[in-house]
Structure 1
Amino acid sequence: MLNHRGKILETTVRKWCDQKGMSILALAKAAGYNQSTFYRHIEKEDLPYHIIKRYGRAMEYDLRTVFPEMDDSDVIVRDKPQAPYGLKKQSQEVQDEVNFWKEKYYTLLELHNKLLREKLESAGL
């Protein structure tokens, strides 16, 4: 008898999400799926292992502990945790980028206002 891979994945994901305080929606997005796709996946008795592996990578969890029959090719568990919910940049990097674009905006705005004043002056307004 075949184990229902979708139901096993669902149990594992729900337990993991509860422990980490992460929503299933956020985990599905981190795995590259949307929430409705997750619910379709868990209904499949013979859910392909490549899909299971994507959830494992998103969870940074080796799902071979739950699916021992799954081969170890392409199973990636990160050593260094990344920012949650797929965020890649740290807050200082984000702030630096915001400041860069703000300064660029102000520079262009000043140039625009200068050109506008010159145009109005040359038109006698």
Structure 2
Amino acid sequence: MIHRGEIVERVVRDSGIPLTKVAKKMGKSRRWIYNVFEMPDLSLDLVLEFGKILHYDFSDEIPQIANRTSIINDRDIPYGVNKVEYWKNKYYRLLEEYNELLKKDSKDK
């Protein structure tokens, strides 16, 4: 049975994103990434962090992640962006677009 580090390694390599870029987004070195690939008991938080960067949901391969909602609910948030600010700004943009549509619809009638 393959362990968490090997699962993450497979996904990272299949993504086509260079290891250097993944390491830079995580604020770590390439050597650190290689060490992670060797960790059988890699923390779920690190797995989720890789998932955010790679836009990948590890919950199929690592069932314990299904209880953690971060990667599933926030997968569109760019790495390093505050979640609260992201969703607040998205809400305001959608609200503005909705109001514009209402104005346009009322003028058409």
Instruction: Give the alignment's TM-score, normalised by structure 1.
Output: 0.52
Q: Which amino acid aligns with 2:70?
A: D
Instruction: Give the alignment's TM-score, normalised by structure 2.
Output: 0.59
The one of 59, 65, 89 aligned to 2:60: 65
| Structure 2, unaligned runs of 5 or more | 80-109
| Structure 1, unaligned runs of 5 or more | 87-125
The one of 9, 13, 34 aligned to 1:39: 34
Written as runs of structure 1 = structure 2, the 5 A alignment for 1:94-105 is: none
Give, in angstroms, the shift of residue 53 of structure 1.
0.7
Residue 77 of structure 1: aligned partner: 75
Written as runs of structure 1 = structure 2, the 5 A alignment for 1:1-125 is: 3-17=2-16, 22-70=17-65, 71-75=67-71, 76-78=74-76
Structure 1's consecutive aligned runs of 4 or more residues displaced over 4 angstroms after TM superposition are: none
Q: Deviations along 1:1-43, whole A, 9 cap, x unmatched?
A: x7411111111110112xxxx2111012223322111111111
Q: Which amino acid aligns with 2:47?
A: I
SS at match of 1:78: coil
Larger radius of gyration: 1
Q: What is the aligned-residue RMSD (CA, Å)?
A: 2.3
Instruction: State how many pairs are aligned.
Output: 77
> 1:50 and 1:68 mapped to 2: Cα distance?
14
